[in-house]
Structure 1
Amino acid sequence: DRRREVAAAVSSSAAIPLATNFLDHIKTRIQSRPAPGGVAQPYSPHFLRSARRLLAEEGAVSLYTTGLTASILREAATQTFRLGTYPLVRDAISRATGGDGGGDSAVAAKVAAGFAGGAASGVAASPFDLARIRLQAEAGRCCQATGLLTSGLRAGLRPRETSTVGTLQLIAREGGGTLALWRGAGVNALRAATMNVATVPVYEHTKHLAKKHLGVADTPSLHLAAGIVAGLAGTTAAAPVDVVRTRLMTSSHSAGHGEAVVGIWRDAGLRGFLRGWWPAYMRLGPVLLFYPALVEQVRVRIFGLGPLV
Structure 2
Amino acid sequence: MAQRASACASTMPEPQYPFWLGGLAASAAASFTHPLDLTKVRMQIMPLLPSGRRPTMFSTIRWTVRKFGWASTYTGISACLMRQMTYSLIRIGSYETIKRRITQGQDPKNPTRLILSAAVAGALGGIAGNPADIVLVRMTTDSLRKPENQYRYRHGFDGLMRLVREERIIGLTRGLGPNTIRAILMNSSQLASYDYIKALIIRRHGLKDGIGLHIISSTFAGAVATTVSSPVDVIRSRIMSKSDPRPFLEVLRKMLRQDGVRSLFKGWTPAFVRLAPNTVLMFVFLEQLKRMWTVRI
| TM-score under structure 2 length normalisation | 0.87
Q: Find the counterpart in structure 2 of residue 168 from structure 1.
A: 160
Greater share of residues in helix: 2
In the alignment, which residue of structure 2 is the partner of 1:226? 217
Residue 139 of structure 2 is aligned with which of 135, 138, 141?
Answer: 135
Maintained 8 Å contact 2:126/2:183:
yes
Residues 304 and 8 of structure 1: CA distance in aligned 2, closer, same or farther (over 3 Å): farther
CA contact (8 A) 2:139 2:153 kept: yes
Provide the rounded CA distance (Å) in 2 between the counterparts of 1:303 and 1:134. 39
| 1:76 alignment partner, one of 74, 80, 85 | 85
| Cα distance in 2 for residues equivalent to 1:45 and 1:264 | 16
SS of residue matched to 1:302: helix
Query: Is residue 58 of structure 1 aligned with residue 68 of structure 2?
Result: yes
Residue identity matched to 2:106: G
Give 1:25's aligned residue: 38
SS in 2 for 1:216: coil
Give, as a single letter, the amino acid of the residue that structure 2 aligns with 1:99. Q
Alignment of 1:197-216 (within 5 A): 197-216=188-207
Moved more, 42-51 or 122-131: 42-51
- Identity among equivalent positions (%) equals 27
> Contact 2:109–2:196 at 8 Å: present in 1 too?
no
Contact 1:77/1:121 (CA < 8 Å) preserved in 2?
Answer: yes
Residues 1:257 and 2:261 are matched in the alignment = no
- CA contact under 8 A between 1:8 and 1:298: conserved in structure 2? yes
Cα deviation, residue 275, structure 1: 0.2
Once the two structures are superposed, residues 54-73 of structure 1 have per-residue CA deviations (whole angstroms, 9 ceiling, x without a partner) of 11011111122x11101001
**Contact 2:109/2:199, CA 8 A, preserved across alignment:** no
Secondary structure at 2:69 match in 1: helix
Q: Which runs of 5+ in 2 are unaligned?
A: 1-13
Q: 2:226 aligned with 1:235, yes or no?
A: yes
Partner of 1:6, secondary structure, is: coil
2:123 alignment partner, one of 114, 119, 125 = 119
1:23: Cα distance to partner? Answer: 1.0
Q: 1:44 aligns with which of 54, 69, 75?
A: 54
Q: Is 1:11 the counterpart of 2:28 in the alignment? A: no
Q: Is contact 1:122-1:193 (8 Å) kept?
A: yes
Tell whether the 8 Å contact from 2:34 to 2:80 is kept in structure 1 after alignment. yes
Number of aligned positions between the proteins: 283
Q: What is the RMSD of the two structures over their aligned residues, measured on CA atoms?
A: 2.6
| Distance in structure 1 (CA, Å) of the matches to 2:256 and 2:106 | 44
1:14 aligns to what SS in structure 2? Answer: helix
Q: CA deviation at 1:28?
A: 1.3
Shift of 1:241: 0.4
